[in-house]
Structure formats: C-alpha cells, structure tokens
C-alpha cells in the first residue's frame, strides 16, 4: 500500500501577474528576459523589489533570497549605507569619460584588500574583466592559448564560453582528451580552439598538457572553486601545486575572483587559499549589486597597459559603479560584515546538516559557508564531470519546492546559495532551514510514491547554471 503523505503540501504561489508579464515580455525580449539564465518559461520570476535578504515578486510573493542576484549582493538588497552614498554622488553627474576620485579610492581599496596587486582597472561586468585579463596575459607572454577548467564559467565572451555547463558529460569528450565545447552557436571555431579545456583537481593532466604545449600557453584562468558547479573545492594542496607548475612552465595564473572576491575573505580566494596569482578579476561582491568590476595583476604583467594593450569602455569606472564599489569595499574593510556573512552561512549549514542527516541521505557541502552548494552524493565531487553522478534531480525538486514555501535558491544544483549580511537578522536562518526541511520531506514523499519530481524549465541549449 502506498503511504499517505505526511508533509504539508506546498502552498500555491500567486502567479497571475507574472504570467501576464511573461506573455507580454516574450513579445519583445527573447525568452521574456535579458539573460538566458533567467528564462524559466512560464515560471519566469518578475521581481518587484528587494530589501535585506528578502525579495518580492510582482504577485506579492515574498522569498528569502538565496540567489542574491547570483552573488553580488553581499550586504543585502537596498543597503542604505551604499545606496545613500551612490545617490549623493550620482547627483553630481554619472558619465563623463573622465576619472573621478571615487574610482581612485575604490581601486586603492581593492589593492588594500588584495595587497599582491600592482595595478587595477575597472570594467562594468565580470565578462569584460575576464576578457581583458586574458588579453593582458596574451600580450605579456606573446602566446595565444588559454587553459580553462571544464565546468567553469568566466562570462559570456567568445573566449570564455568553452566547456562550461553541458548536462551530458559525453559532450566534453574523453577524460584524457577533452574537446573545446562551445556553449551555443555563433562562437567562431578558430576562437574556441584557442581555449584548452582541462580537468579541475587533476594535476597530472595539467603537467602533461604543459609539457606538450607550454610554448603556446599564455595563461590558465581558474575560478578558485568551481563556483558555477556548486562550488566544488580544490583538493588539499591543489592550488599551491598548480601555482608551482605554472611558474615552472612560464604560464600566467589568472584567478577569476568574480564570485569569490571580497566574499571568501577580504582578499578573496587568493587570501583564503594562500595563493598569489599573476592576474585576477573581480565583480559581484565588489559593488553590492551595482555593476562594478575590475581586473588587475602584478605590476610587471599590468605594465602592458596603457601603451601596448587596448582597454577602454564608456562606462568603465562610471560614477554609480565607482561610488558603490568605494562604499561597499569600505564597509567590508571596516566592519565585521564579512564575518557575519560567514557565521550565518555556518549556521544555515548546521541546520541543513541536521535535516539531511535525519533523513539518512548521503550529501556534501561544497564551496565556502558564504557561497555553498548541497550535493546529494556519498562521493566528494572533485571536478565538473562528478556533478553528473550526484542526485541533482532531488536537489532541483527541493529547490523548486522551496520557492513555493518562501525561499529562493537557484533551481539548479550547479548554482550555490549566496549568503548576505542581512540574512543574519531575525528568524531568517531558522526559516531557511525549516523551509528546506519541509521541501525535502515533500520531495522524498513524491519519490517514494514514484510521482514525477518538479524541476526547473531549461533554456534551449542547456541549463541555466552560470550567468
């Protein structure tokens, strides 16, 4: 006999206004959104507002936000300290294509927090930052190829969209000889062939690759954890050994700190793992959600700018972004906001651990308490290909069930949960844990009764992981 459900069913979300907006928006915006990664078909969320750790959609549904805009909002939505300063500065005019003191102070603070940096430049997005860092690496070394790890996302320029997030691991090619898999059409073959995919946590693979092709490889670009694959962690000593290998073979190391920067530690993953890269990219937490980003590096490597390498941008260092970065970084430097974010992440993880252990499910946390994934598996994942062997169907269904109950993680297990300072207040942590618990119980009951599990709507060519 089938067991009767014991868990409260998920409340139905009001969706009428969002559905109407979806049908209206799809007439103008492909998929009804400004990014493929937000296009969730008829489940697409149309936001009204956010405050602190919460977000409301246009139907009035309230959620504890665990996506935090894919990571940038480290303090909380609508943070008055940042917004007041930005408002004050923007009234002086926003775009001059001239340089303001806010830009200088923002980048001085980036350097203060990452003392290994020699020179830094602002960009508007993480995509631009990785694109420019790659170009600087090529210019400095006079070599063309760049190595990247499978499953890592470095933005939406042609050089970054290689071997990012296929659902089917066979698309990546064989384990010994991975192929440069372009994500979507329109990326010239000649460009994707300048990118060599490698396997994260696999030093032997890197050594063989460097022995064969070091004379053509300018750099390896590395997300210090696989931030777009649930935050899969480096194995002990991996980064140090990789740093040593790059030095031995004359290859630059680019740390893509777009997700980890100012989040894992004030000095990002470089400080957290004790690594000094040659170049790094920053965005997200740098501006608490305003479009501030940067790339920088060792003095000598960055010396190709401004004379030998092109970099510009009408909006690079614009007043709004510079003011937001200045204020956000000052808060991260001068207050215990980051310790609060970390402690809150640990509290949430402790609660989830109890819930999952009580169900007897094998699982691991990936990433850092400030940005972590939940992987249902008994084997610790060490590279992107391992994600396929986790019970991501269970995770995705739990995430969808959490939306209905008032908390919003990404409905794709490859995207971590992001903690912000504002999550520390009130009963937010307890609510996150109880919403997760209810959703997990309901999902397990569905599974026990062999009913289909809810899942995200996928975009045409892959999953919404990354952005």
Ligand X SMILES: Cc1ncc(COP(=O)(O)O)c(C=O)c1O
Chain contacts with ligand X (rule: CB under 6 A): 70, 125-127, 130, 153-155, 223, 227-228, 256, 258-259, 283, 293, 467
Shortest Cβ 186–ligand X spacing (Å): 17
How would you list the strands of the sheet with 119-123, edge to edge? 119-123, 293-297, 279-282, 252-256, 217-222, 145-149, 195-198
Q: Which residue lies nearer to ligand X by CB, 166 or 406?
A: 166
Task: Give 67 or 154: the residue with its C-beta nearer to ligand X.
Answer: 154
> In the complex, what is the shortest distance from the CB of residue 439 to ligand X, in angstroms, rounded to a whole number?
25
Question: Nearer to ligand X by C-beta: 102 or 415?
Answer: 415
Measured from each CB, the residue nearest to ligand X is: 126
- Residue among 57, 172, 67 at smallest CA distance from 466: 67
Q: Which is nearer to ligand X, 61 or 192 (CB)?
A: 192
CB of 293 to ligand X, least distance (A): 6
Structure tokens at 147: 């190595």
User: What letter would DSSP give residue 12?
Assistant: P
The residue annotated as part of the active site, out of 65, 256, 278, 396, is 256
Q: Which is nearer to ligand X, 126 or 464 (CB)?
A: 126
- Minimal distance, residue 321 CB to ligand X, in Å: 11
Write down the least CB distance from residue 296 to ligand X, Å.
15
Active site annotation includes 153: yes
Which candidate, 322, 350, 410, places its Cα nearest to that of 55?
Answer: 410
Closest CB 438 distance from ligand X, rounded Å: 29
Structure tokens at 256: 């893509």
Residue 215 catalytic? no
Q: Which of 22, 85, 153, 384 is catalytic?
A: 153
**What is the DSSP pairing of strand 279-282 with strand 293-297?**
antiparallel
> What gap in Å lies between CA 258 and CA 371, rounded to an integer?
12
Which of 284, 384, 386, 438 is catalytic? The answer is: 284
Core vs surface per residue 215-253: b (16+ CB within 10 A) or e: eebbbbbbbbbbbbbbbbbbeeebbeebbebbeebebbb
Report how far residue 421's alpha carbon sits from residue 423's, in angstroms, rounded to the nearest whole number.
6
Check: CB of residue 231 under 8 Å from CB of residue 416: yes
- Closest to ligand X by CB, 129 or 399: 129
Cβ–Cβ < 8 Å for 183, 191 = no
Question: Is 284 noted as a catalytic residue in this protein?
Answer: yes
Distance from first CA to last CA of the chain, Å, rounded? 45
State the Cα–Cα distance between residues 26 and 16, nearest whole angstrom.
16
Residues involved in catalysis: 153, 256, 284
């Amino acid at each position: 006999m089938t067991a009767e459900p014991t868990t409260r069913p998920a409340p139905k979300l009001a969706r009428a206004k969002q559905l109407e907006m979806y049908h209206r928006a799809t007439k103008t915006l492909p998929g009804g959104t400004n990014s493929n990664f937000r296009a969730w078909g008829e489940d697409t969320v149309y936001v009204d507002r956010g405050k602190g750790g919460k977000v409301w959609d246009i139907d009035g549904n309230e959620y504890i936000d665990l996506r935090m805009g894919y990571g940038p909002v480290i303090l909380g939505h609508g943070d008055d300290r940042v917004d007041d300063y930005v408002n004050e500065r923007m009234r002086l005019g926003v775009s001059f294509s001239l340089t303001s003191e806010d830009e200088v102070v923002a980048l001085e603070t980036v350097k203060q927090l990452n003392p290994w940096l020699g020179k830094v430049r602002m960009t508007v997005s993480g995509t631009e930052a990785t694109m420019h860092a790659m170009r600087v690496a090529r210019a400095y070394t006079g070599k063309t190829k760049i190595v990247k790890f499978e499953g890592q996302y470095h933005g939406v320029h042609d050089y970054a969209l290689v071997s990012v997030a296929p659902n089917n691991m066979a698309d990546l090619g064989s384990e010994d000889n991975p192929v440069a898999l372009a994500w979507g059409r329109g990326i010239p073959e000649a460009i994707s062939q300048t990118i060599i995919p490698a396997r994260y946590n696999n030093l032997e693979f890197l050594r063989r690759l460097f022995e064969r092709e070091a004379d053509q490889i300018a750099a390896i670009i590395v997300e210090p954890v696989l931030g777009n694959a649930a935050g899969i962690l480096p194995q002990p000593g991996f980064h140090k050994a990789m740093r040593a290998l790059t030095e031995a073979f004359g290859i630059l190391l680019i740390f893509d700190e777009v997700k980890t920067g100012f989040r894992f530690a004030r000095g990002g993953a470089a400080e957290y793992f004790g690594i000094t890269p040659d170049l790094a990219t920053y965005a997200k937490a740098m501006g608490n959600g305003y479009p501030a980003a940067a790339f920088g590096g060792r003095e000598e490597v960055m010396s190709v700018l401004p004379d030998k390498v092109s970099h510009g941008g009408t909006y690079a260092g614009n007043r709004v972004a510079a003011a937001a970065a200045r204020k956000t970084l000052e808060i991260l430097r001068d207050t215990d906001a980051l310790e609060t974010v970390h402690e809150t992440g640990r509290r949430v993880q402790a609660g989830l651990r109890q819930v999952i252990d009580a169900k007897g499910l094998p699982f691991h946390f990936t990433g850092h308490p400030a940005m972590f994934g939940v992987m249902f598996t008994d084997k610790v994942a060490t590279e992107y290909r391992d994600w396929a062997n986790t019970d991501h169907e269970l995770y995705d269904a739990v995430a969808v069930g959490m939306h209905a109950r008032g908390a919003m993680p990404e409905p794709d297990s490859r995207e971590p949960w992001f903690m912000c300072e504002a999550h520390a207040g009130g009963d937010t942590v307890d609510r996150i844990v109880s919403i997760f618990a209810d959703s997990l119980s309901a999902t397990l009951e569905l599974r026990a009764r062999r009913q289909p599990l809810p899942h995200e709507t996928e975009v045409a060519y892959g999953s919404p992981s990354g952005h």
